[in-house]
Structure 1
Amino acid sequence: MTVDQIPQAAGLPLIGAMLDFRRDPLNTYLRAQREHGDVVRFTVGPPGLRQDFYAVFSAEGAQQVLARSVGFRKDDVFYEEIRATFGNGLLTSQDSDYVRQRRLIQPLFTRRKVDRYAQAMCEETLATVGEWRGRDGTVIDVLDEVTLLTQRVVTRVLFGAASEEAAEVVGRNFPLLGEYMLRRGFSPVPLPRWLPTPANRRAAAARQELYDVCDRIIAERGRDGSGQGDLLNLLLQAGDGADDRLTPDEIRDQVLVFFLAGHETTATSMMFALYLLANHPAEQARAREEADRVLGDRLPTAADFDQLAYIHMVMKEAMRLYPPSPGISRRATADTAIDGHVIPAGKIVLLSPWVTQRHPRYWPDPERFDPLRFTPEREVARPRYAWFPFGGGPRACIGQHFSMLEAVLAIAVLLRHYEFEPVDTDLKLTQKLALRSVGPVRCRIVAR
């Protein structure tokens, strides 16, 4: 089939589907799949600035795009914005830069290495439990609480003793920079960053403050060699010799990307898991019974991860319904046939975990919360890419085990100390750097 035969989503005469994406991108994709099938063309932007991109919604199509080592690149306006803000780290680097970085950094994220951070994850979760003492029966914004928790975990893992200083700077500047990147990414003609507009100046100041604190800590660590147990020290030592090491700028870029990917997406997944458990008491009771049975009166360790099987399934089901990154984009480098359609070279291809993970071909009654979808028997019966919140293929998220370990252990600790009762039962969602609710996600916490 030719590109002309790819069905096109409806749009307005002058701006195409641009307004739909600004108002409600999640339902725009769902509607397109239901009305047109698994490959859909969108036209976005006014005349003269118009662009076509192609959404692929099937698990088989997602596998074709993600699992290939050639044919698709991380090369669009959003990755360019991340690159310009947070540097050329593992999330955004390409070609030989990416191959080199991945070779040096991958050994730091083996399961055995990541499991060493379990104690820090659990101690920070216990600190959150301590902060909730005296708030029994009160309503909390779950997103705020778990974002603070994951922020503390990632700064402690990265910086060790210097984590408090870094956490304060990150917490103040990351939200501002995230909004700035999104506005620029969705703008048909973003203004040059060098223009001294108020938004550009605020973003430049926030970016510089992040760079300054990272550069200072990296330089101090390089001089004194302290922090033997944290990830920054491992980054400084990564490689086989002096000529095969990450430069200070490369280390800073990796640190900033780990902050970006390591706390916001995990916080989003944990927030939706707690929201779903609050609104499904039977599933919450089953998860709590497992935590009590496996842990008794102690904190979990990495060795408990596989034993907390039901909580693991809860996390997977929460990430199915609410994938932290609901869209993944690539640029096709050659004409490529996907699901019987030819996508032309140079065009952006968008994959949507949000849609594929609700696709009725793979997920019966897809809107229902059912952690038992993820029993080993049911997982092996589905296509590999029916569930891909961490991406897949050669550029799959390097921090997948870190995120799942942190979420499962933290949820187990929280459930052993508190019951979660629903306050907000119908969330309005928006797509930012990560999937987000519009407004707070409130639960009442009741001490056990």
Structure 2
Amino acid sequence: MATTETPLPGPAGLPLLGSLLDLKNDSLATYLRAHRTYGDVVRITAGPPGLRAQLYAVFSAEGAQRVLATEAANFRKDNTFYQEVRETFGNGLLTSQDADYLRQRRLVQPLFTRRRVDGYASALTDETSAMLHRWNAAPGAAPGPTVDLLDEMTRLTLRAVARILFGVDVDAAVDVVERSFPVIGEYVLRRAYSPLTLPRDWPTPANRRAATAANELYAVCDRIIRERRAQGAEADGEDLLTLLTHAGSAEDDGLDAAEIRDQVLVFLLAGHETTATSLGFALHLLALHPEEQARARAEAVRVLDGRTPTAADLDALPYLTMVLKEAMRLYPAGPVIGRSAVEATEIDGYTIPAGADVIVAPWVTHRHPRYWEDPERFDPERFTPEREKERPRYAWFPFGGGPRACIGQHFSMLESVLALAMVLQEYELTAVDRTVPVSAGITLRATGPARCVLRRRR
């Protein structure tokens, strides 16, 4: 049995660069390989001599629970990745810490109660109806048009979250986000993985491209926020931006304009890319598995009988919820979660030193053979209530966990299940692409298409 004196196992990598190239080329495969070869706690060395970093990866459900929940105060968002995200997207809920985080969470939490989120259901279904109408009008030979599911779901969820955030100001925000986010995301990722980064204000081509994209994104957010704040008490809408401008308490006057922008940027990032990943892969997996697709459709048709779903239907769609959870197991939108250890901590018999960069990886834990039989197989039955109770709490954690768990969990589940039901009522899906390559960016991202043929049901 391992003890605290046992050296941490891990790959040797290349003599000069360690595992840096493996991490840059395919970090998800590198973590899976490390787990299968070395176990539940692995040390990965990356970078050239003098700039070499040590990364401590924790892959067990029990270890993930300690990092994210039971000892969360000892594992902070102080690593390079979060610093790059913070400098780009501001100090919102995703990146803030300590008193800033507690204050923001207290002010924003009332906006994400189940009752409040359920009130957004009509906006979500309106956007889904518009997508289906566009599909219905698409030209194409029989049996129907071919679409890239991940592209379509990204467009859908972006429009939905922009509508819920901004109300009537959807189109201007969507156009800017579609142009800006890919540029900014690639920039953040490249800097986070580089052992040596240049100052952001140096006029390099990459810095200039990122600054232009960020400034355009900030400008549209600032304009809408300024207009909404100028309305003052007259702004009585139910969109999130109006609610953010009114957020406050007896102890706190509320968020200033800069803080509101930081929250808006985080909501735009986390509110559309993550849900698009979950929803797109759920549809693609159903397109690959006709029996499960037929069962999911039968549930949607039985419950809805052709009508548009509402938030009240969510609990009546358990199989669709199981499909979504299984898609999130295989394709977690946040495949890797980073922290920095404050003090030395023993996990699974090994000591993680103070100051260490630590990751937990849903991508790996969701495939851990101790918790998941035949882990690469798509099987929604894994998520019956009985089988969920048999597993450790952190065998499945696509929304993170502990005090920093995603505030938008119910929003994402509601949007995804209602959209799945609407699509399946209208269409039968047949996969064109059998596999979809992915990589880890700020969120999980597809590096190839997820096309399917749509056959409209009569």
The two structures share one fold, judged by TM-score above 0.5: yes
Are the equivalent residues in 1 in contact too, given 2:135–2:145 (CA < 8 A)?
no
Structure 1 residue 307 corresponds to structure 2 residue 316: yes
Counterpart-to-counterpart distance in 1, 2:35 and 2:18: 17
Structure 1 residue 143 corresponds to structure 2 residue 150: yes
Counterpart code for 1:107 = P
Q: 1:168 aligns with which of 170, 175, 188?
A: 175
Counterpart-to-counterpart distance in 1, 2:176 and 2:436: 30
Counterpart-to-counterpart distance in 2, 1:337 and 1:81: 28
For residue 346 of structure 2, give the secondary structure of its aligned residue in structure 1: strand
Counterpart-to-counterpart distance in 2, 1:431 and 1:71: 25
Are the equivalent residues in 1 in contact too, given 2:314–2:414 (CA < 8 A)?
yes
Are the equivalent residues in 2 in contact too, given 1:160–1:227 (CA < 8 A)?
no
For residue 380 of structure 1, give the secondary structure of its aligned residue in structure 2: helix
Paired-residue identity, %: 63
Alpha-carbon offset, residue 243 of structure 1: 4.6
Alpha-carbon offset, residue 241 of structure 1: 4.9
Alpha-carbon offset, residue 430 of structure 1: 1.5
1:102 equivalent in structure 2: 105
Are the equivalent residues in 1 in contact too, given 2:326–2:382 (CA < 8 A)?
yes
Counterpart code for 2:95 = T
Alpha-carbon offset, residue 165 of structure 1: 1.2
Counterpart code for 1:53 = L
1:112 equivalent in structure 2: 115
Counterpart-to-counterpart distance in 2, 1:160 and 1:182: 31
User: CA deviation digits over 1:14-35, x for unaligned, max 9?
Assistant: 0001011112211111111111
Alpha-carbon offset, residue 361 of structure 1: 0.4
1:187 equivalent in structure 2: 194
2:125 equivalent in structure 1: 122
Alpha-carbon offset, residue 398 of structure 1: 0.5
The Cα RMSD (Å) is 1.2
For residue 73 of structure 2, give the secondary structure of its aligned residue in structure 1: coil
The two structures have a TM-score, normalised by structure 1, of: 0.98
Counterpart code for 2:271 = G
Counterpart-to-counterpart distance in 2, 1:227 and 1:422: 45
1:253 equivalent in structure 2: 262
Alpha-carbon offset, residue 172 of structure 1: 1.1
Counterpart-to-counterpart distance in 2, 1:446 and 1:41: 49
Are the equivalent residues in 1 in contact too, given 2:433–2:452 (CA < 8 A)?
yes
Are the equivalent residues in 1 in contact too, given 2:4–2:346 (CA < 8 A)?
no
Counterpart-to-counterpart distance in 1, 2:6 and 2:268: 42
Counterpart code for 2:43 = R
Counterpart-to-counterpart distance in 2, 1:281 and 1:175: 33
Are the equivalent residues in 2 in contact too, given 1:420–1:443 (CA < 8 A)?
yes
Q: 2:166 aligns with which of 154, 159, 172?
A: 159
Alpha-carbon offset, residue 428 of structure 1: 2.0
- Between Structure 1 and Structure 2, how many residues are aligned? 448
2:40 equivalent in structure 1: 38
Alpha-carbon offset, residue 69 of structure 1: 3.9
1:419 equivalent in structure 2: 428
1:23 equivalent in structure 2: 25
Unaligned runs of 5+ in 2: none
Counterpart-to-counterpart distance in 1, 2:428 and 2:195: 46
Q: 1:316 aligns with which of 316, 322, 325?
A: 325
Alpha-carbon offset, residue 10 of structure 1: 2.8
Counterpart-to-counterpart distance in 2, 1:242 and 1:71: 28
Counterpart code for 1:439 = G
Are the equivalent residues in 2 in contact too, given 1:221–1:227 (CA < 8 A)?
no
Extract structure 1 runs of 4+ deviating beyond 6 A: none
For residue 132 of structure 1, give the secondary structure of its aligned residue in structure 2: helix
Alpha-carbon offset, residue 334 of structure 1: 0.3
